[in-house]
Structure 1
């Protein structure tokens, strides 16, 4: 078997199935990443969503028998909408981050990896392959960096020269001995714009993230949002793009290479008020195909209430009062109370006083009392 020719054939085939960039690396252990992950764990910087076994995240031999290589792929996604909708008084809108525009990227990348696997198996029937996207064990960024797809940037993203950091990553471990590509050198230099711009200071230093403080992580939690994060949320209802949009390497980067990734403006930037009372069925029908729906509607609804407070949207007061009075979930009722305190007005104050008399949940009651105190002051 001429493995150099096979590698070139894989590269050529990848271009025919919509893979924008491909790189190859060895299946050796990611020693530097192990050190970083241990440090993350010691500092309690991890999100809790990732694989908990650090060895599985850095050692490919625990995931596939006698691996020889890892193939890293990248697909570029849009940074701008072709059609735009406007958020205005009386019709305020929230925003899903760019990584949640279009069809769930897990689905799109698994499709490309599945086609790539099929091609490899046709060429080498006894080949072993294991593919993964984001929720797999390996650290996508570590694989992509070592495979020469891009460099690991200070904003904790992979930046490619061709597409900036607006790329989805996936990888395939295989027992085929494919020659590795050269890792890409860091090109961030002295630039610290992403670190300076992070709304919550989650980027502790170049390449280190306190996920617990990251707005993107906070938008996905299901409990009450801490006050400091409510104030920073703005109109984000899922994810955060600040460290990408501020990056000079992303200037002018906007690619529309994949129809599945094209955003529907009414979904990517939805009206906020209708989200407050959307049913589970309606939510799944409208948003179920995007990655931002994976935690269900509760975090999205909580964030939508906070966004309305951010806008001080007086026209939404009646709807928020309805939520505070009727929603069965304490987090949603309590967040609605907080929002009324922020928006203000006599209608908000009267509702807080009246409904607090029948509220039994202690956390919700505290939110109501805090909101009333805020209005009084």
Structure 2
């Protein structure tokens, strides 16, 4: 087997199956990443969604016997909708982040990696391959950085010269000793626009993020969001793009290479009020194909309530009272009470006063009390 020739054949084949960029690196340990992950753990900056065993995140040999290289892939996704819908009074809309437009990217990347693996095994039948996307043990970003896909930006995203940071990442550990590609030199320089644009200050410094404060993380949680952070969420119902849209490297970057990534504006920028009453089946039918649906309907519905408060949508008072008084989930009742306080009005005030007499959950009672204080200030 000629590894150099095979590498070139893989690069050429990757273009035919919709991989926009491909890079190769060694399977050696990610020692610098280990130190960063340990520090993140010490500071409690992790989201909790990551692989908990740091050694598995940095040592490919724990994931495959005698790995020799890692192939990194990137697929560019759109940053703008070809068709747009607008939010207007009485018909307010939420927004999913760009990484959740179109079909779930985990499925898209797994499809590409599966095809790439089949191609490799056809050429080298005794080769061993292990692919992963996002939820795998390795850090997609660390692999992509070392494989020359792009540099790791201050916004904690991989920034490619061609597509900016609007790329999905995946990787494949292999038993084949491919020649590694050269990493790309950091090009962020003195620019701090992403850090300045972060609504919650989650970007502590260039390349370091406190996931516990990141809106992208907060919108995926299922409990109450801390009150000071709610106002920062705006109308985001899943994820956040502020650190990407503020990046000069992303200016003018908008690629529509993959049909399955095209957003349906009615789904990725949905009307907020109808979300509140969705059944599980209706939620899956409408949002199930999105990456942003993975945590179920509860976070999306809670975030929709926060968004209605952001807009001070008086037309939603009736629906919010319904949630506050009839929803079986304390997080929904309490967040609705808070939202009613933010929107204000006599109807909201009377409903909050009645709810205060009947509610038994302590956290919800606290939210109702805060709502009543707010409603008197509106």
TM class by shorter chain equals over 0.9
Between the aligned partners of 2:312 and 2:376, the Cα distance in structure 1 is 17
* Deviation digits for residues 235-283 of structure 1 (CA, Å, limit 9, x no counterpart): 0000000000000000000000001100000110000000001000000
Between the aligned partners of 1:158 and 1:245, the Cα distance in structure 2 is 14
* Deviation digits for residues 183-232 of structure 1 (CA, Å, limit 9, x no counterpart): 11100000000001100111111100100010100000000010111010
Q: TM-score, normalised by structure 2?
A: 0.99
Show the counterpart of 1:28: 28
Aligned residues of 2:343 and 2:375 also touching (Cα < 8 A): no
Residue correspondence of structure 1 range 129-140 to structure 2 within 5 A: 129-140=129-140
Residue correspondence of structure 1 range 1-377 to structure 2 within 5 A: 1-377=1-377
* Deviation digits for residues 53-90 of structure 1 (CA, Å, limit 9, x no counterpart): 00000000000110000000000000000000000000
* Structure 2: stretches of 5+ with no match in the other structure: none
Q: TM-score, normalised by structure 1?
A: 0.99
Give the drift of 1:97.
0.2
SS of alignment partner, residue 88 of structure 1:
coil
Between the aligned partners of 1:180 and 1:111, the Cα distance in structure 2 is 24
* Deviation digits for residues 116-175 of structure 1 (CA, Å, limit 9, x no counterpart): 000000000000000000000000000000000000000000000000000000000000
* Deviation digits for residues 304-353 of structure 1 (CA, Å, limit 9, x no counterpart): 00000000000110111111111000000000000000000000001111
Between the aligned partners of 2:376 and 2:117, the Cα distance in structure 1 is 64
Give the drift of 1:287.
0.6
Give the drift of 1:374.
1.9
SS of alignment partner, residue 110 of structure 1:
helix
Between the aligned partners of 1:111 and 1:228, the Cα distance in structure 2 is 41
Between the aligned partners of 1:353 and 1:185, the Cα distance in structure 2 is 60
Give the drift of 1:101.
0.2
Q: Bigger CA drift: 73-82 or 367-376?
A: 367-376
Between the aligned partners of 2:301 and 2:70, the Cα distance in structure 1 is 40
Between the aligned partners of 1:73 and 1:345, the Cα distance in structure 2 is 53
Between the aligned partners of 2:277 and 2:328, the Cα distance in structure 1 is 12
Between the aligned partners of 2:219 and 2:374, the Cα distance in structure 1 is 24
In the comparison of the two structures, how many residue pairs are matched? Answer: 377
Give the drift of 1:355.
2.1
Between the aligned partners of 1:233 and 1:331, the Cα distance in structure 2 is 16
Between the aligned partners of 1:264 and 1:93, the Cα distance in structure 2 is 14
Between the aligned partners of 1:369 and 1:36, the Cα distance in structure 2 is 42
Between the aligned partners of 2:345 and 2:286, the Cα distance in structure 1 is 33
Give the drift of 1:376.
2.5
Aligned residues of 2:113 and 2:131 also touching (Cα < 8 A): yes
Q: Bigger CA drift: 355-364 or 199-208?
A: 355-364
Between the aligned partners of 2:173 and 2:203, the Cα distance in structure 1 is 30
Between the aligned partners of 1:283 and 1:327, the Cα distance in structure 2 is 16
* Structure 1: stretches of 5+ with no match in the other structure: none
Give the drift of 1:366.
1.1
Between the aligned partners of 1:43 and 1:369, the Cα distance in structure 2 is 33
Between the aligned partners of 2:186 and 2:231, the Cα distance in structure 1 is 34
SS of alignment partner, residue 180 of structure 1:
coil
Between the aligned partners of 2:111 and 2:332, the Cα distance in structure 1 is 37
Between the aligned partners of 1:35 and 1:224, the Cα distance in structure 2 is 32
